[in-house]
Structure 1
Amino acid sequence: MTVGEQSLNLLEYMPFSEGTKAAFLDKPSALQLRSELPRIDGATAFYPLYASFVQAVYPKDGNYHPHAWDSLALCSTTSRAYDSLLAGEADIIFCFEPSEYHRNTAAEDGITLQLTPIGREAFVFFVNQNNPVESITSGQVRDIYSGRITNWQELGGRDENIRAYQRRENSGSQTTLIAIMGDDQLIDPPTEHVFYGMSDIIKAAASYRNYENAVGFSFLFYCTEMVRNSEIKLLAIDGVYPSKETIQSGDYPFVREIYAVTAGDESSQVRQFKEWILSKQGQYLVKQTGYIPVK
């Protein structure tokens, strides 16, 4: 059942490619990097974002294929991106916060991770479109994923067991779920309820025949713009529906920072790149891509 994140056509966002969906600036970038280019990696959900950065700042003739091992703008998923950063194989990655495993690994290796917020995004929960439940509370999310609530009837739905999907350990979305659980212990799911890619968890919840009783999680831009599966619906949390407006206002409760992450000493090019991302032009691309700027 697992097909992996490469089922998404990230090539649609590849910098400088014909018809790319990566966002453009309305005038040339104030920063132009031409030598000692930072090696980039990151989460699947953020490839469209850092592809737009590369398109604005990097030279046109580079290798920016999302899946090529020697690419300057690789997309290997959150966990692998942190592995690459800690191994010195990437200079800057674009992800959510690191997992406990990656924090501990960095500390054991004497590496200081520097997390620079560059944008904001909503962590969302979704169900099959035929599920009558429209809204749950933050507490009920924790109750579901700790095993205290196990039937949709307890949430105003049908008398069906809840199939609570999770992602693999150290993925960006699974790390976010663990963070919002707080002191509540996350249940150990059956193997068939754990998915490698975010696209897989969306497809499973969208399946009418077998998974109408499922709940899953992802990020707003990813599931509404990159996957666009009409067979799922997003749940309101604490009565607030996830949208750009409710992220911006702070009304939606599960908003996370998007980080540019570096490890140890930064080169001059990396420092300039980070400063530019936080400039008016960089933040413009954050907004044009579909995320919420921090400035």
Structure 2
Amino acid sequence: MNGVPWESVIAVLGLAVPVTAALWEFFLAGRKRLGYRVQMDTTVRDSSTSGPETRVFQRMQWDGRTLADPSVVLLRIENVGWSPIVEGDYVAPATDPVGVSIAFPGRRVVGMAVTERSRNVPRSFFTPDRPGFAATDGVVRLPKVILNRRAHYKVLAVLDREEGFTEPEFPDPEVSAGVVGGVRGGTVKRTEYYPFASRPVRWLLAALVLVSVAQSAATFARGEDPVAAPLDCAEGTLHLSGSTAFRPVLELAAAQYTETCPDARIPLSDDSFRGSVPGLDTLAAAGEKAGPGGSGGLGDRLAFSDGPKSDGRPELLPRPVALSLFTLVVSEDAGVRDLSLRQVRDIYAGEITNWKQVKGRDLPIRLVSRHPGSGTRAALEARVLGGRPLPAVTTNDCRSLDAGRPGRCEVGGTPSLLDTVASTPGALGHSEVGSATGHEGVRLVRIDGYPATLEGADQGAYPFWETEIAYTYGEPPADSIAAGFLRYLAAEVGKDVIRSKGHRPCAELDKPLVCRPSGP
């Protein structure tokens, strides 16, 4: 009887190892799991030995009395499972607002505060009037905080030795909590920090590496060539057009995609990137020229726009890609680095015409703008100027702007705008942040004190941003190069490219389905 081929054994192990790891992580160890860590537990006696300057801690007081033997404890409460923990998951009765209790044997609680919390843990859980949030009878009580996967918050407690407790060392804090359906009965567990992975997972990963090495050795032993290209590689030529602000992302993504996929070609030219509206016009014209086809859409063209298209083109289908951040830029001699939103609107309305009116230098303000059809210009009008159009052009050639009075001119692309602002005294323009950062001769302008950051836009504090949208003509075939390139941009490698140029992938926003930042 012939034995089982060893290649088959390796194949079975290659399937069994990841399945076992998945079952362990998601079903056995990955249910609801509430944990805590004691990140600091120190007494003033310990701190005061560091030097005379630390003896200030020995003078800590409470209610007018000096603490006898104060200590400080910092605890981290965290969701270390794979499922979110909601208010109804805590084992405490529904009428009891307390979710977690922390006792300190031998010590009484003098004061406490929540010093850190994950971004998605609201501050309202820890207000003084919140039921279940208190420190009474020497016990810190915390409410039933909703914790998404990997969310946490930290509690800092100031304590003092209880009268009659004579032990030299204090026992560890006693944390009482539990969640329904959790690991090992749902009782809160003291966790440890694993910089890589837990020990069982490390063993499984090591086994998986050994299986992979064995499979590779078997492949080379048979003399077979490995697969050269990933599944999303498509052959053919892809034509891109549209936003000049998003062009740096597309140039890098196209170079990496064609390097990975040797049968794909993505030629780029200055004529293809003349602005969002011209790019949509090019896509629409190509679709109309091709006429109705069996697939229902073009598979070799994409147009990228800073913001949504205008009405009247139902055949152009949107795919939100990223949040694009824009900024106002001024020439170095303007002497201005911060403008209020009202000042910006007054400048473009012609009510402020000299930089000295906003505490800058005595120079007339010269506006340098993009041509109509630019998505950056549309974002400026819609999000910064409140829907007001730009003032009339005073000259068709920016080089002929009158040096003695204000005026406005227009240029074609982002690089041309930045060069013009840098070489024109008192100039003010608008640009995508990634291109403007580090450009010689220009300075980025804060709006209402907020710099151009993705965090500010995502929180509603910074107004000058727009959604970068990829448009197709109809629905492209699933195996087309247009569909493959869109999937590439949405994959991890594509997200890295988007982030490297100062944008944020839509999937990473609070509301990825509409690709709009949270907040008002």
What secondary structure does 1:44 align onto? coil
| Cα pair distance change 1:289/1:152, threshold 3 Å | closer
- Which one has more relative contact order, counting CA pairs under 8 Å at least 6 apart? 1
- Compute the displacement of 1:78 (Å): 2.8
- The CA RMSD over aligned residues, in Å, is 2.8
What secondary structure does 1:235 align onto? strand
**Residue 293 of structure 1: aligned partner:** 505
**Residue 251 of structure 2: aligned partner:** 51
Are residues 1:148 and 2:359 paired? Answer: no
**Residue 414 of structure 2: aligned partner:** 198
What secondary structure does 2:318 align onto? strand
| Cα pair distance change 1:122/1:68, threshold 3 Å | closer
* TM alignment of 1:1-295, pairs within 5 A: 30-35=230-235, 38-58=238-258, 59-60=261-262, 62-67=264-269, 74-88=272-286, 91-98=301-308, 103-104=310-311, 107=312, 111-180=314-383, 181-191=385-395, 192=397, 193-207=409-423, 211-224=424-437, 228-244=438-454, 246-247=456-457, 250-268=460-478, 269=480, 270-294=482-506, 295=508
| Cα pair distance change 1:178/1:78, threshold 3 Å | same
Q: TM-score, normalised by structure 2?
A: 0.44
Q: Deviations over 1:32-77 (max 9, x none)?
A: 32235543223233233223333444433554332288xxxx5454
| Partners of 1:247 and 1:31 in 2: CA distance | 35
Give 1 or 2 for the bigger CA radius of gyration: 2
- Compute the displacement of 1:30 (Å): 4.9
Q: Deviations over 1:206-259 (max 9, x none)?
A: 12xxx22111111101222xxx43211111111011245545655432122111
Structure 2: runs of 5 or more not aligned: 1-227, 288-299, 398-408, 509-520
| Cα pair distance change 1:68/1:242, threshold 3 Å | closer
What secondary structure does 2:376 align onto? helix
Q: Deviations over 1:261-295 (max 9, x none)?
A: 22333322344543442233322221134322222
**142-151 vs 270-279, greater mean Cα deviation:** 270-279
Q: TM-score, normalised by structure 1?
A: 0.73
Structure 1: runs of 5 or more not aligned: 1-27
| Partners of 1:149 and 1:36 in 2: CA distance | 53
| Partners of 1:279 and 1:259 in 2: CA distance | 16
One-letter code of the match for 1:196? Answer: G
| Partners of 1:232 and 1:68 in 2: CA distance | 23
One-letter code of the match for 1:141? Answer: V
| Cα pair distance change 1:261/1:29, threshold 3 Å | farther
| Partners of 1:154 and 1:271 in 2: CA distance | 52
Could you list the runs of 4 or more consecutive aligned residues of structure 1 that deviate by over 6 angstroms after TM superposition? none
| Cα pair distance change 1:143/1:39, threshold 3 Å | same
| Partners of 1:68 and 1:257 in 2: CA distance | 22
Does the Cα contact within 8 Å between 1:29 and 1:281 map onto a contact in 2?
Answer: no
- Compute the displacement of 1:136 (Å): 0.4
Identity of aligned residues (%): 25
Does the Cα contact within 8 Å between 2:379 and 2:465 map onto a contact in 1?
Answer: no
| Partners of 2:230 and 2:460 in 1: CA distance | 31
| Partners of 1:93 and 1:185 in 2: CA distance | 25
One-letter code of the match for 1:112? Answer: E
Q: Aligned pairs, how many?
A: 251
What secondary structure does 1:285 align onto? helix
| Cα pair distance change 1:30/1:120, threshold 3 Å | farther
**Residue 13 of structure 2: aligned partner:** none
| Cα pair distance change 1:205/1:37, threshold 3 Å | closer
Does the Cα contact within 8 Å between 2:240 and 2:303 map onto a contact in 1?
Answer: yes
